[in-house]
A = this chain, B = another copy of it.
Amino acid sequence: MTRPTIDDIARRAGVSKSAVSFALNNRPGVSPATRERILRVASEMNWRPHKAARALGGARADAVGLVVARPAQTIGAEPFFGLLLAGLQAGLSARSVALHLMVVEDTSAEIEVYRRWTSERHVDGFVVVDLQHRDRRVPVLEELAVPAVVLGGPTGHGSLPSVWADDREAMLSLVDYLAALGHRRIAHVAGDEAFHHTRRRMRALKDAARRLHLADAVSVPTDFSDAQGASATRALLSAPRRPTALIFDSDVMAVAGLAVAAEMGVAVPAGLSVVSFEDSLLTRIVHPAITALGRDTFALGGQVAAALLAAIDEPGSVRDVKTATPRLTVRESTRAPYTERQG
């Protein structure tokens, strides 16, 4: 048995195709009685709209794209990504919009996909992640005039709306907390300097250090990998006057750093405090559990989805959305530094 079309419904209900279309789309042009009859027949026949047929008439594709230029490893490794995906998905599927995911090699390939999917009318809009300094993708998306929402900000995303958290504020409060505990030598195992948020965090740390007259406040950039996170930690802990507190830009690096401390015989938190700028399962399940700046990544995905859907409905209507500043969850990995401990 082949699937029913509106023609089948029309025949069975004794009306025209158009009447059926009106009824099914809640448009004026049919009487309440007829409308109800058509709907009943449609549901009896278990009718479902044919997506492609709808999309052909110039309508929506009812799908949005997420193109990621990252090595496959990271995509599995970082809880952040999976949660964001799940949150996006939840926000979109409530309006039955599909998510087209594509993993590519590099930014050039990513841009190529933007062009292709836009011209093929494959998606109605894009979610852009990993905002970079002087991001090449922004002008392309502006030129394509396709709805898009950038995750990250508050600047550097041109005319595209963005959903962002205040990294600077978070870093400042984090350093305040560590300084209050008595830490004067704080190091920061940062992410990739190409990323906007990494730069902002590094700048914030420097500013905080100046304001608080901290002895030392180095930022060491990495590529976000556990390997570089580990080696940066090793280098920092090998220095003659080692820092008493380490801030890691990601949960993966924080866990890797924790392992390095254990391997080097540096007790956490007695000899070293560890903080992660990203919270997740990872920071909770290791021992000692890691103090972390947390945000609800699943909810973040939902906010991005909402912003994108709004941008698709009414291009130009969406303004930047500032999400809640990440809040500190104190666990077992932070304490006053040994030399200044009271008890």
Contact = CB atoms under 8 A, between A and B. Distances in A.
Taken together, the copies of this chain in the complex come to 2
B73 A281 contact: yes
- Secondary structure call for the A interface: helix
Contacts of A79: 76-77
B48 A116 contact: yes
B77 A82 contact: yes
A3 interface: yes
Given A48-B120, A285-B230, A90 B103 contact: yes
B98 A100 contact: yes
Interface in A108-158: 116, 119-122
A51 B121 contact: yes
A89 B226 CA distance: 24
Interface of A: 3, 46, 48-56, 61, 63, 72-73, 75-87, 89-90, 93, 98-104, 116, 119-122, 226, 230, 252, 255-256, 258-260, 262-263, 280-282, 284-287, 289, 297-298
25 contacts: A48-B119, A51-B52, A51-B61, A72-B83, A72-B86, A72-B298, A73-B83, A76-B80, A76-B298, A77-B82, A77-B280, A86-B103, A89-B102, A93-B104, A98-B100, A98-B122, A99-B100, A101-B101, A226-B285, A230-B285, A252-B281, A259-B285, A259-B286, A260-B287, A263-B287
